[in-house]
Amino acid sequence: MLPTFFQRESDRQARRRDDVGGHYDRVVLGAMLALICIGIVMVASSSVAVAEGKGLSPLYFLWKHLLFLGIGGMAAAFVATRELRDIERYSLWMLIACFVLLAMVFLPGFGRTLNGARRWITLGFTTFQAVEAVKLLLIVWLASYLVRHREQVQSEWLGLIKPMGIAGVLVAILLLQPDFGSATLLCAIAGGMVWLGGAKFRYLFSLGMLVVPAMGALAIAAPYRVRRLTSFTDPWADPFNDGFQLTQALIAIGRGETFGVGLGGSVQKLFYLPEAHTDFILSVIGEEFGFVGLLVVIGLFALLAGRAFQIGLRAMEMGRGFAGYCAFGVGLWVSLQALVSMGVNLGLLPTKGLTLPLISAGGSSIVMTLMALGLLLRVSFELDRASRQVAKVRSDDFVNAFDPSELLGQGKSGAKPSGETLRRAA
């Protein structure tokens, strides 16, 4: 009898919990949609001259951008409606997929070389940059690893070496493509997640003292990277050659002044500023909307990243480690990539070839960024659902703990509620 009773009670509790839904975080949704709308407007504004220069329809890049936004939206919706425990179950396969995707770019018939770099996989009608998927897949695997090996990560060298070693192998493959910018970003995401997972700072500092000089040596080993570094320090020394991109970007931002020259009024996008609709789209925003426009974009990214970290902290407080680390990883990815892209446009960092998330025209970058934000929305949904479930269970237990009519002094006897009744109600 007792096992049957407890089974029935468990089923009843499960049905009661399932009746409670959740809500996706409105701040994340709002910031994401605002950045997407800005991106649509700016891709339309900055890509017309580029498309016409290539003999294409004036709105070619806009329609392509909208297509990938649609694909990314469906991918984000798919991830946002999956249970996190189901996603975590496939974390090992996601790690394997990281290596498979990065290896595919070197296979004849699959990999494609563009501008001297072999970073793309041919999909027939389009190409896909493998590292964009690797960022998300690595975040999910790292989140699972940090949950499963939390004590080891927090107390032992081995707990730090394992995840950083795997990230190091992925970085090494990226450097063979070569893709120094994405390699640096991937290393920073992994290091940030491990640190948030509780790794001791002295261990990370010691590892960084080994990695940073090695990355620096690799940066100066290639002549084109050396030219980027020298042109970054003084772009005006060679404004028509190595410093051309940065000088044109700075001219665009300076021309915008406080409020900009108005939407569509940019001159630099007319074949002066290279990659005006992708890597240097922030410069066009600065020219057309001025300092105020730049502040709006920076504020939206800060809001999105801050909310991601806030969701991650809330998940950790609720004992949901995998959800928390996923939120941290997505927040690190979006914030660091946006920071690097902005730094390049403002002349604070050397050219890296990284797009501005959700704003720059692109295919794989847009799709995978939206999928990552779909994962963040899923985390927020499950946290909200858990909070509502706890509130409902407590409310039901409160109601069932006493006779309401007795508490109100309106029972059959009309007597006042007893001390025991009040204690049970509290």
Tens digits of pLDDT across the chain (426 residues): 444 443 444 444 444 445 567 889 999 999 999 999 999 999 999 998 888 888 888 899 999 999 999 999 999 999 999 999 999 999 999 999 999 999 988 888 777 777 667 777 887 777 888 899 999 999 999 999 999 988 888 888 888 888 999 998 999 898 888 888 888 899 999 999 999 988 888 878 777 777 777 776 766 666 666 666 666 777 787 777 777 888 889 999 999 999 999 998 888 888 888 888 888 999 999 999 999 999 999 999 999 999 999 999 999 999 999 999 999 999 999 999 999 999 999 988 887 778 999 999 878 899 999 999 999 999 999 999 988 888 777 776 656 655 545 444 444 444 555 555 434 444
In this prediction, residue 19 carries a pLDDT of 57
Closest CA to 201 of 210, 211, 192: 192
Distances (CA, A) of 185 to 93, 100, 179, 189, 374: 22, 20, 10, 6, 21
| Cα–Cα distance for residue pair 420/426, rounded to 1 Å | 10
In this prediction, residue 223 carries a pLDDT of 66
* Single pTM value for the model: 0.86
In this prediction, residue 337 carries a pLDDT of 95
In this prediction, residue 14 carries a pLDDT of 45
| Cα–Cα distance for residue pair 278/136, rounded to 1 Å | 21
CB 99 within 8 A of CB 176: no
In this prediction, residue 123 carries a pLDDT of 77
Q: Supply 222's token pair.
A: 């290639």
Distances (CA, A) of 344 to 246, 337, 339: 8, 11, 9
Per DSSP bridges, beta strands 111-114 and 127-129 are: unpaired
In this prediction, residue 116 carries a pLDDT of 66
In this prediction, residue 235 carries a pLDDT of 79
Q: Which position has the token pair 């991650």? A: 312
CB 330 within 8 A of CB 373: yes
In this prediction, residue 270 carries a pLDDT of 86
Distances (CA, A) of 49 to 202, 241, 276, 357: 51, 22, 10, 22
Backbone φ and ψ of 241, nearest 5°:
-135, -100
Q: Three-state SS across the chain? A: CHHHHHHHHHHHHHHHHHCCCCCCCHHHHHHHHHHHHHHHHHHHHHHHHHHHHCCCCCCHHHHHHHHHHHHHHHHHHHHHCCCHHHHHHCHHHHHHHHHHHHHHCCCCCCEEEECCEEEEEECCCCEEEHHHHHHHHHHHHHHHHHHHCHHHHHHCHHHHHHHHHHHHHHHHHHHHCCCHHHHHHHHHHHHHHHHHCCCCHHHHHHHHHHHHHHHHHHHHHCHHHHHHHHHHHCHHHCCCCCCHHHHHHHHHHHHHCCCCCCCCCCCCCCCCCCCCCCCCHHHHHHHHHHHHHHHHHHHHHHHHHHHHHHHHHHHHHCCCHHHHHHHHHHHHHHHHHHHHHHHHHCCCCCCCCCCCCCCCCCCHHHHHHHHHHHHHHHHHHHHHHHHHHHHHHHHHHHHHCCCHHHHCCCCCCCCCCCHHHHHHHC
Q: What angle do CA 160, 83, 123 make, to 5 degrees?
A: 80
